[in-house]
Amino acid sequence: LDEFEEIPWAALRYTAGETNYGGRVTDAHDRTTVNAMLNILYTADCLNDSYKFSESGTYRAPPDGSLEDQREFIRNFPL
């Protein structure tokens, strides 16, 4: 990512949706679902501290911090 002036969001979504999941996405409905999810997760908006991945606000990107801070943030997600 350091090679680009801007983050290539479309390329990242394609890589995650088509390359990584290529063998598991079996039809157009699966592809539509995966792409809808990736449009929520892989967006420049997620770089804003106020961006939430869910309407409840439970799921959001962790604030800047150490690796242990990141781990603790994830540990506090509901099961």
Alpha helices by DSSP H, 1-79: 9-14, 28-41, 67-75
At residue 27, the pLDDT reads 80
pLDDT digits (tens), the chain, 79 positions = 578 889 999 999 988 887 665 567 778 888 888 889 999 999 999 888 899 988 898 898 888 899 999 999 999 999 8
- Residue 17, CA atoms < 13 Å, CB-side half-sphere: 22
pTM here is 0.69
| CA 49 and chain centroid, separation | 14
